[in-house]
Structure 1
């Protein structure tokens, strides 16, 4: 999986965990993408540092340095909206 895709998947799950803190599956999936970032891309820290009207800023890095990647906010939040709109996941 490409770094950009792994970061985006991590971000989507971080948003789901934030919106659904009791969702064990969301936590497990977030951890899964953190493992991919660590094992495949040597990323040992990742965090959301800023949200504005259109973008979410994600800082990630390792011993060699830190970078910031911007993601479209609407796209990143779409998974949470879809989960919340599905009655199957809201009982």
Structure 2
């Protein structure tokens, strides 16, 4: 998986886990992508923040800090899809 794709996948599931902290599947999946970033790309996430209409991820790779931006609506799509699917919302009211 390409670095940018792995960062985006991590971001999407991290957004879900941030909003639904008791969602064990989101937690486990976020950890899976963190491990992939560390092992496959030697990346450590430094910071995730919202700036205007984008999420900005600051990460460290090869001793250098770098940033990548993703549109907020794309990053929050998975969360919105989960929220809009009643069968996934029966036990989560975080």
TM over 0.5: yes
- Give the RMSD, CA atoms, in angstroms: 1.2
Which residue number corresponds to residue 38 of structure 1?
A: 38
Shift of 1:88: 1.1
Give ranges in structure 1 of 5+ residues lacking alignment.
none
Moved over 6 A (4+): none
Which residue number corresponds to residue 29 of structure 1?
A: 29
Give ranges in structure 2 of 5+ residues lacking alignment.
none
Taking structure 2 as the reference length, the TM-score comes to: 0.89
Structure number with greater CO (CA < 8 Å, separation at least 6) is 2
Taking structure 1 as the reference length, the TM-score comes to: 0.92
Number of equivalenced pairs: 90
Shift of 1:27: 0.2
Which residue number corresponds to residue 78 of structure 1?
A: 77
Q: How far apart, in 2, do the equivalents of 1:89 and 1:46 lie?
A: 30
